[in-house]
Amino acid sequence: MTGTLITVAPTGAEVDKAAVPALPASLAELVAAAKECQAVGASIVHVHIRDDDARPTLDLGRLRDTVAALRDATDLVVQLSTGGAVTDPEDARLAVLEAGPEMASCTMGTVNFGEDVFLNRWEFIVELHTRMQDRGVVPEYEIFDLGQLSTLERLLDRHGLPAGGHVHLDLVMGVPGGMPGTVAALAACTAALRNLPDGTTFSATGIGRATLPVLLASLAAGGHLRVGMEDTVTYAKGRPVESNAQLVARAAAFARLAQREPMTPAQTRALLGIPA
């Protein structure tokens, strides 16, 4: 059994900075959070950025500055979100790749997202996947529901393996409108992995109160972990999350208990086929 790849998703597009002041929103806050998270066991940072008013943005100049600042200050694999916010148009989401990340997210289908819809048409998915192949950007395939694993299988069959040659996906569990954050749902997903290329790896994240059950289930199933304030802002009942590092430290402690040490950024790059 390998170590544990821990991704931190520190910001997201949905949490309101005014309601959650600990959320890293400015570039300085994001870089500081990323450094702290690397120190306690993260190896990938999944990045959404905010504007000066802490609203989500896909501004390309800001994205380029963010990639550069995170590379300067950390060894983390920088994974830009191409999901953005539910209101972001497809062309702006595709343009994220122009910021030159090593890695980017790529969602495998449309899903109801609370009161909203997170739209991911087949043609858009194909465009994102093939642009990533052309630019050498390694995808993390985001899976919000079981059927999206079949979409991933179809994508790889028709359009080939991603840059780096390794398939890595993230099960996002517990979004209202997607699959629940349960052991049964995770087991159904892991059973479906047999239809994907040999060596496919997965991480899992549970939204809100699904955080801990999904974390434990993923470790038990040989999976990796994603945690962060994009996905939960409550550490325990009645106890707000103090920092992203607090969530990463807890994930790393569980990984060690499972005798699967957190992977370093170098080990993560080697696993995913990202050049050192």
Least Cβ distance, residue 97 to ligand KMH (angstroms): 13
146-150 — which CB contacts under 8 Å span 24+ positions?
146/179, 146/185, 146/188, 146/189, 146/192, 147/109, 148/107, 148/108, 148/109, 148/111, 149/108, 149/189, 149/192, 149/193, 149/195, 149/196, 150/192, 150/195
Task: Give the one residue of 5, 13, 37, 99 binding ligand KMH; rule: CB under 6 A.
Answer: 13
Per-residue binder mask for Zn ion (CB under 5 A), 67-86, x = binder: --------------x-----
**Residue 136 contacts residue 163 (beta carbons within 8 Å):** yes
Residue (125 or 254) nearer to ligand KMH, CB: 125
Task: Give the one residue of 107, 110, 201, 203 binding ligand KMH; rule: CB under 6 A.
Answer: 107
Task: Give the one residue of 57, 66, 105, 148 binding ligand KMH; rule: CB under 6 A.
Answer: 105
Q: Pull the structure tokens for residue 206.
A: 């549970």
Confirm or reject binding of residue 202 to ligand KMH (CB under 6 A). Answer: no
Q: Which of 216, 221, 256, 250 is nearest to 234 (CA)?
A: 250
Q: Which of 77, 103, 21, 85 is nearest to 49 (CA)?
A: 85
- Distance between CA atoms of 216 and 1, rounded to whole angstroms? 16
Residue linked to tokens 């899992």: 204
Q: What is the CA radius of gyration of the chain?
A: 17
- Distance between CA atoms of 152 and 23, rounded to whole angstroms? 32
Confirm or reject binding of residue 83 to ligand KMH (CB under 6 A). Answer: yes
Residue (45 or 254) nearer to ligand KMH, CB: 45
Select the span of 9-17, 26-34, 192-200, 210-218 touching ligand KMH (CB under 6 A).
9-17
107's contact among ligand KMH, Zn ion, none, with CB below 5 to 8 A by partner kind, is ligand KMH
Cα 154 vs. chain centroid, distance in angstroms? Answer: 21
Q: Which of positions 113-142 make contact with ligand KMH (CB under 6 A)?
A: 113, 118, 142
Confirm or reject binding of residue 204 to ligand KMH (CB under 6 A). Answer: no
Least Cβ distance, residue 82 to ligand KMH (angstroms): 6
Q: Given the rule CB under 5 A, which residues bind Zn ion?
A: 81
Q: Given the rule CB under 6 A, which residues bind ligand KMH?
A: 12-14, 81-83, 85-86, 105, 107, 113, 118, 142
